[in-house]
Amino acid sequence: VKQEGVLPVSKRRRLLAATALAVLTPYGAPIEAAPGLPWSPNEAYPPAPARPGPWLYFTAEEAATVEAIVDRLIPADDLSPGGKEAGCAVFIDRQLTGPYGTHEWLYMQGPFPENPLPSQGLQSPLTPRQQYRLGLAALGEHCRANFGGRNFPQLGAAEQDKVLTDLEKGDLRLTGFSGQMLFNTLLANTMEGFFADPIYGGNKDMCGWKLVGFPGTRYDFRDVIANPNRPYTMPPVSIQGRPDWNRTAG
Amino acid sequence: MTRRLPKKDVVVVGLGWTGSILAHELCLAGLDVVALERGPWRDTATDFNIGTAPDELRYAVRQDIFLRPAQETLTVRNKPDQLALPIRKWGSFLPGNGVGGAGVHWNGQTWRFLPEDFILNSHLTQRYGEGLLPENHMIQDWGVTYQELEPYYDRFEKIAGISGKAGNLNGQKQDGGNFFEGPRSAEYPTPAMTQGYAQQLFTDAAKRMNLHPFPRPSANLSAAYTNPYGMRMAPCTYCGFCEWFGCANYSKSSPQTCVLPALMRQPNFSLRTLAQVTKINLTPDRKHATGVTYVDAQGRGDRAAGRPRAGLRLRAVQRAAAAALRHRPALRPCHGRGRGGQELRLSEQRQRHGLFRRRRADQPLRRRRLARRRAGRLQRRQFRPCAARLRGRRLDHLRPYQWPPDQLPAGAAGHAALGLGLEEGESRRPTTTSPPSAPGQRDELSRQLSGPRSHLQGSPRPAADADDLRLQAERG
């Protein structure tokens, strides 16, 4: 039975099978093992640490806008530093240069229908890199047109909050770009930057983890389970350790 | 250019839990086995190193070790009149990739099906009469009973070292275990895990109400254990990086910890990774499989052929269910043709988050749990200025379609009538309800616990709302 609007099964199969040929290579060499464990000592796959330095993807203007936005999403207060100081913008910049930036691991071929259902999840053809480039350009255009030639970073805090709130609600229509998509991407990436391991460039000094009492990469909690309802007092540890561990050197 | 590879007795497609145990048992039986795995080789020491394994961004958010949809995905729709679209990023379910499959990143809840599940059609008809199930429903008996499978359940639990407490040993009810389970021939191989503080509070409250709380059986081991294959496992350290992560500690049962080191030493076993099977080749009468065609990392087409033997004509070609749907000729004709995937149900789980306001001492622990379980969700009081913006937000998870009650498909109606199914993805959904206040908390808990507990609720319950507080017998 052929359904209206549904790809025929054979076409769908071809569509999905076609990708199998092309993308089997991100894992290095295939193993043809027999018998014995194909394992080498001291081999491991740690994440690549984000290095300090100039912006790798953002232009200076884009970076200033993102820094201003992350600082409104997570403003500095007496509990923690703000999003900018926590490194959220650096985190986003470094993420955009990795596989996330191009959605390299995701299925990014068509069809891309205009009105997918919310239950069908991610269905945009735009990669995160494209979302930031196009979205921030559209946002800058909107700000200059409506706030006397000023860009987003030059707006006052109340104006910035108004713009962000309108973006989130969908009240602010950017030219050629979905404001809600831009907001959702920014919000998700800001939270990731604030709470992901500092090795990725955000969560500076584990400020996000200290805020919520998250112990980081610690892995042995048998003493906690054995002593219920006691305060947990150990400081957090990241993949690269803790600042205290480095101070005694030299 | 297609190469023909040397003939083997058995080709196993996909080296996850099923593939690895099957391959090992067949090797022990003396057969030559080759396994083809579409993903890479993975082992604990290399890939789940303890220094880098607890990485939420890499594994839980960016989905590093799951099947990458760029390599293979599915199209999905929730109703026949919808446009089926590819899943671009995993949400409700997380297919594995690589040696170990989804057994690497699973959560480790290890339930047995109930005896009634195997004979569901006759059970329901016998108990509630012919009229209960709607016309054209898909519910049927499995053709195998719990009693027949029990020795194999027991065998698997011993291979995986499952931790738990029996509630029904050979028909005798056991205190502290699950009274509702089918009869077990033996106790779990390792004792139940130590229950955390929240579980203790819950257990005490439930016991005071003359209920029978029990710890869930888990593939996270409470004690050191050596399985029948000689694999040694270490006790779990309760780190919390379980689902979505590989275990660095040799504590979570997986093909890596329970089977592979033994299997890889079998002289009659060989493995090819990054080998994507594209076709099962059949005999001219299409009744038997003769081998498979796969594509390797260089894009070469290879044919791994089976050696036809008397009594064994590659009936043991084994593959993941999703892929099997695309290779129907290799499957036996089944009831309800062309409805593959219609009854797809994911693990159902009920969660309830509560705030125990009067238990202040546990705050850091509670905070840690919140931080971990509600990854990325922020508390209102911590981010006052933009609280509304931040609360309850979530990444682009594929949410389940929620059927309007009057449009339930036949099979789903049956499930809804039973209070089963339709909650796929629930366990990952954000819970944004405000926590009840302390006095209300207790009342609410009493109300829930004294309310109807049977999972035969009678009325369809289509929407998986976080507000649905009924505590059900949880199914992993």
Contacts of B68 in chain A (CB under 8 A): 23, 26, 105-106
Tell me whether residues A30 and B371 touch, CB distance under 8 A.
Answer: no
Distance between CA atoms of residues B258 and B44, nearest Å: 11
Out of A36, A44, A108, the one facing B264 most closely (by C-beta) is A36
Please report the pLDDT score of residue B63 as a whole number. Answer: 94
Please report the pLDDT score of residue B295 as a whole number. Answer: 87
Residue B173 in this model has a pLDDT that exceeds 70: yes
Tell me whether residues B40 and A79 touch, CB distance under 8 A.
Answer: no
Q: Quick one: which of A65, A63, A45, A47 has its CA closest to A55? A: A63
Edge-to-edge order in the sheet of strand B276-282: B2-8, B301-306, B289-295, B276-282
For A155-181, what is the mean pLDDT? Answer: 92
Instruction: Give percent above pLDDT 70 in chain B.
Output: 62
Instruction: Indicate the SS3 state at residue B96.
Output: strand
Question: Nearest 5°: CA angle at B169, between B163 and B173?
Answer: 105
The DSSP element (H or E) to which B47 belongs, if any, is: helix B44-47
Distance between CA atoms of residues B322 and B145, nearest Å: 24
Please report the pLDDT score of residue B32 as a whole number. Answer: 93
The DSSP element (H or E) to which B33 belongs, if any, is: strand B33-36
Contacts of A79 in chain B (CB under 8 A): 382
Q: What is the pLDDT of residues A7-50, one digit of tens each?
A: 444 444 444 444 444 444 456 677 776 667 777 766 778 888 99
Per-residue confidence band for A153, with pLDDT thresholds at 50, 70 and 90: very high
Sign of CA dihedral B55, B58, B60, B63: negative
Residue B166: Cβ-neighbour burial (10 angstroms; 0-12, 13-18, 19+)? buried
Please report the pLDDT score of residue B452 as a whole number. Answer: 36
Residue A143 in this model has a pLDDT that exceeds 70: yes
Q: What is the pLDDT of residues B345-388, one digit of tens each?
A: 666 666 667 666 665 544 444 555 544 444 444 333 332 222 22
Tokens, residue B371: 């931080």
Torsion of CA B197, B203, B204, B209, to 10 degrees: 160
Of A158-172, B306-320, B409-423, minimum mean pLDDT range: B409-423
Q: How many CB atoms lie within 10 A of CB B261?
A: 19
Residue A185 in this model has a pLDDT that exceeds 80: yes
Please report the pLDDT score of residue B381 as a whole number. Answer: 30
Any chain A CB within 8 A of the CB of B378?
Answer: yes
Residue B180 in this model has a pLDDT that exceeds 50: yes
The DSSP element (H or E) to which B157 belongs, if any, is: helix B146-160
Tokens, residue B271: 């493995």
Q: What is the pLDDT of residues A200-216, one digit of tens each?
A: 999 999 999 999 999 99
Quote the minimal CA–CA distance from B404 to chain A in Å.
14
Q: What is the pLDDT of residues B215-224, one digit of tens each?
A: 999 999 999 9
B435: cis peptide before it, omega within 30°? no
Amino acid at B41: W
Tell me the average pLDDT of chain B: 73
Strands (E) across B88-195 are located at 168-169, 172-173
Provide ipTM, 2 decimals.
Answer: 0.87
Please report the pLDDT score of residue B137 as a whole number. Answer: 78
Residue B230 in this model has a pLDDT that exceeds 90: yes
CA closest to A196 among chain B residues = B57
Distance between CA atoms of residues B289 and B316, nearest Å: 9
For A167-181, what is the mean pLDDT? Answer: 89
Residue A247 in this model has a pLDDT that exceeds 90: no
Q: What is the pTM of this model?
A: 0.77
Residue B197 in this model has a pLDDT that exceeds 50: yes
Please report the pLDDT score of residue B301 as a whole number. Answer: 65
Which position has the token pair 């998700």? A188
Range list of H helices, B305-461:
321-324, 363-373, 387-390, 410-418, 438-450
Question: Nearest 5°: CA angle at B165, between B217 and B106?
Answer: 10
Q: A192-212 in b/e burial notation, b at 16+ Cβ within 10 A?
A: bbbbbbbbbbbbbbbbbbebb
Distance between CA atoms of residues B77 and B336, nearest Å: 18
Any chain A CB within 8 A of the CB of B84?
Answer: yes
Alpha-carbon separation of residue B301 from A26, A31, B97, B278, B460 (angstroms): 19, 16, 20, 9, 50
Residue B344 in this model has a pLDDT that exceeds 90: no
Distance between CA atoms of residues A18 and A52, nearest Å: 40
Tell me whether residues B46 and A45 touch, CB distance under 8 A.
Answer: yes
Residue A63 in this model has a pLDDT that exceeds 90: yes
Contacts of A13 in chain B (CB under 8 A): 326
Out of A123, A192, A196, the one facing B88 most closely (by C-beta) is A123
Contacts of A197 in chain B (CB under 8 A): 55-57
Tokens, residue B128: 């509630």
Please report the pLDDT score of residue B319 as a whole number. Answer: 41
Q: What is the pLDDT of residues A106-123, one digit of tens each?
A: 999 989 988 888 888 899
Per-residue confidence band for B341, with pLDDT thresholds at 50, 70 and 90: low
Alpha-carbon separation of residue A1 from A110, B136, B340, B409 (angstroms): 23, 17, 14, 17
Residue A156 in this model has a pLDDT that exceeds 90: yes
For B433-451, what is the mean pLDDT? Answer: 37
Of B33-42, B284-293, B361-370, minimum mean pLDDT range: B361-370
Per-residue confidence band for B198, with pLDDT thresholds at 50, 70 and 90: confident
Are the C-beta atoms of A113 and A125 separated by less than 8 Å? no
Out of B69, B264, B386, the one facing A72 most closely (by C-beta) is B386
Q: What is the pLDDT of residues A123-135, one digit of tens each?
A: 999 999 999 999 9
CA closest to A219 among chain B residues = B239
How many helices (H) and strands (E) chain B has is answered by 13, 13
Most confident of A152-161, B132-141, B287-296, B460-469: A152-161
Please report the pLDDT score of residue B338 as a whole number. Answer: 56
For B418-441, what is the mean pLDDT? Answer: 32
Q: How many CB atoms lie within 10 A of CB B254?
A: 30
Name which residue leads in pLDDT, B353 or A163: A163
Contacts of A192 in chain B (CB under 8 A): 57, 61, 376
Per-residue confidence band for B1, with pLDDT thresholds at 50, 70 and 90: low
Please report the pLDDT score of residue B304 as a whole number. Answer: 67
CA of residue A121 relative to chain centroid, distance? 17
Best of B79, B273, B279, B325 to disrupt the A interface by mutation (most A CBs within 10 Å)?
B273
